[in-house]
Structure 1
Amino acid sequence: MTSIAVLGNGRVGGNLAAALARAGHEVTVADRTPGAAADGARAARIVVNATPGAGSLDRLAALREELRGKILVDLSNATVDGPDGLPADLLYPGSSLAEQLQEALPDTYVVKTLNTMLFPVMTAPASLAQAPEAFLSGDDPQAKQSVRELLTDLGWREEWITDLGGIRTARATEATILFVPHIIRSSGFTPFAISIAR
């Protein structure tokens, strides 16, 4: 059992928190109540960023002391939305939210994952007709191993998890968010994930 704080109680955070609790972890969810994020981060071993990506850097940079020595699992994509509310461009072109977080939080182990799919797939990967893929980006091998173990608790098979390397590789997975609005317009909000055919 691991103590986990999920920052964000929307569809992504709520879904993930419930699944992690079902898997036997001690989970707290921090909403926008003043002090909730700091309290959650302080008490947890692993902190999950499920906040909207455009504001994540400011929110998490303010928790630098609470996040010191912790694993930060970053699920968010930082985008500029178009008129329809769907992602239209990247907020950090030539970089990524994960890289920005790692730079702002040098004493925290940032791991990017689960950002290349619609949220229901995060906790039910076997529900898709084809095998999905979850990518890991991060500079610390032990932190990535801990996140890999969380993914298996959520139903991800080992062969569905691909370690891309250091945190800089997150810019590649974050860029795949630009596929999403086109897929949604073409197929609706049917659950899907980006994966590599081999």
Structure 2
Amino acid sequence: MTMIAVLGNGRVGGSLFAALTRAGHQVTVADRSPGAATDAARAGQIVINATPGAGSLERLLALRGELEGKILVDVSNATVDGPDGLPANLLYPGSSLGEQLQAALPGTRVVKTLNTMLYTVMTAPAALAQSPTAFLSGEDAEAKQVVHGLLEDLGWHREWITDLGGIETAQAAEAAVLFVPHVIRSRGFAPFAVSITR
């Protein structure tokens, strides 16, 4: 059993909280109340960033001390939204939220994953008609192995998980969010994910 803190209690954070709890982990979720994020991050061995990506860097910088030496799993995308509320551009063009977090928190092991799909797929990948792909980006091989295990606990088969390499590869994975508004407008708000087939 691992002690996991989920920062963000929206649809993404709530889904991850429920699924990881069912998998047998001790999970806390931090809402927006004062001190909740600090308390959760201090208690968790692994911290999951499920906060809105546009404000994630500022929020997590405030937790630098609590995150020191820990694994930070970043599942958010930092975007500039269009008039319809859907992603229109990347907040960090030429970079990524994952890279920004790792640079700002050098004592924290950042792993980017689960950001190339609708939130429902994160915890129910087998529900899709075709096998989806979950990508891993990060500098620390041990941390990525730990996160790989968490993905398996969420129902991801080993062959569905692809390690892209260092945190710089998060830039490509985060850019996939620009597909989202077009897919939703074309096919409606239904579960989908990026899938690499061979």
Provide the TM-score with structure 1 as the length reference: 1.00
For residue 183 of structure 1, what is the amino acid of its counterpart?
V
CA shift at 1:182, angstroms?
0.0
CA distance in 2, matches of 1:44, 1:149: 16
- Give 1:63's aligned residue: 63
CA shift at 1:190, angstroms?
0.7
- Give 1:113's aligned residue: 113
3-state DSSP class of the match of 1:65?
Answer: helix
CA distance in 2, matches of 1:55, 1:35: 17
- Give 1:50's aligned residue: 50
CA shift at 1:144, angstroms?
0.2
CA shift at 1:195, angstroms?
1.2
What is the CA RMSD across the aligned residues, in angstroms? 0.4
CA shift at 1:196, angstroms?
1.1
Instruction: Indicate yes or no: 2:55 matched with 1:77.
Output: no
- Give 2:99's aligned residue: 99
1:1-198 alignment, distance < 5 Å = 1-198=1-198
CA distance in 1, matches of 2:142, 2:194: 25
For residue 125 of structure 2, what is the amino acid of its counterpart?
P
CA distance in 2, matches of 1:172, 1:61: 23
For residue 46 of structure 1, what is the amino acid of its counterpart?
I
CA shift at 1:17, angstroms?
0.4
Please identify runs of 4+ aligned residues in structure 1 that moved more than 6 A: none
**How many residues are treated as equivalent by the alignment?**
198
CA distance in 1, matches of 2:195, 2:72: 23
The percentage of aligned residue pairs carrying the same residue is 77
In structure 2, stretches of 5+ residues that fail to align are none
For residue 188 of structure 1, what is the amino acid of its counterpart?
G
CA distance in 2, matches of 1:135, 1:195: 10
1:142-195: CA deviations, max 9, x gaps?
000000000000000000000000000000000000000000000111100011
CA distance in 1, matches of 2:68, 2:195: 33
For residue 143 of structure 2, what is the amino acid of its counterpart?
A
In structure 1, stretches of 5+ residues that fail to align are none
CA shift at 1:26, angstroms?
0.2
